[in-house]
């Protein structure tokens, strides 16, 4: 007669997974995705959150190599998206500065040639 094994008391319905997913890898992926929406937070902004994603991603990769946990892909995606976000932020800032400078030169040029101040003409020369 075969006996059916019963789960340990208090652990009913629990099926343990092979290995756990690293918590920092999950945080890295979540903050990388949320960094694009974090620009509405004053004084923190998306670039700070992207930097958190990069740092926690590298920390997670180190822990995963040491412990053998799951989540290496999450850490790598968090690092990659964090770097892409910072790169896009820097490109946006450079384009913004470029347009401010070009627009400033254009407005100064228009103001200097608008005829606001009369040009002196020699008196008495025919």
Give the pLDDT confidence of 64-92 residue by residue, as tens digits.
999 999 999 999 999 999 999 999 989 99
Residues 29-34, mean pLDDT to the nearest whole number: 95
Residues 17-33, mean pLDDT to the nearest whole number: 91
Give the chain as a 3 state SS string: CCCCCCCCCCCCCCCCCCCCECHHHHHHHHHHHHCCCHHHCCCCHHHHHHHHHHHHHHHHHHHHHHHCCECHHHHHHHHHHHHHHHHHHHHHHHHHHHHHHHHHHHHHHHHHCCCCCCCCCCCCCC
pTM score, whole prediction: 0.69
Compute CA 71 distance to the chain's CA centroid, rounded to the nearest angstrom: 20
Domain boundaries, given as residue ranges, for the chain? 23-111
């Amino acid at each position: 007669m075969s006996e059916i094994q019963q789960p340990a008391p208090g652990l009913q319905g629990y099926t343990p997974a092979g290995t756990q997913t690293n918590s920092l890898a999950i945080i890295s992926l979540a903050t990388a995705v949320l960094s694009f929406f974090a620009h509405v937070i004053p004084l923190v902004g998306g670039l700070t959150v992207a930097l958190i994603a990069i740092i926690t991603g590298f920390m997670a990769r180190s822990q995963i190599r040491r412990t053998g946990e799951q989540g290496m892909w999450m850490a790598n995606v968090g690092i990659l998206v964090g770097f892409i976000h910072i790169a896009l932020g820097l490109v946006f800032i450079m384009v913004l500065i470029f347009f401010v400078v070009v627009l400033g030169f254009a407005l100064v040029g228009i103001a200097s040639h608008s005829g606001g101040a009369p040009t002196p003409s020699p008196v008495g020369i025919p």
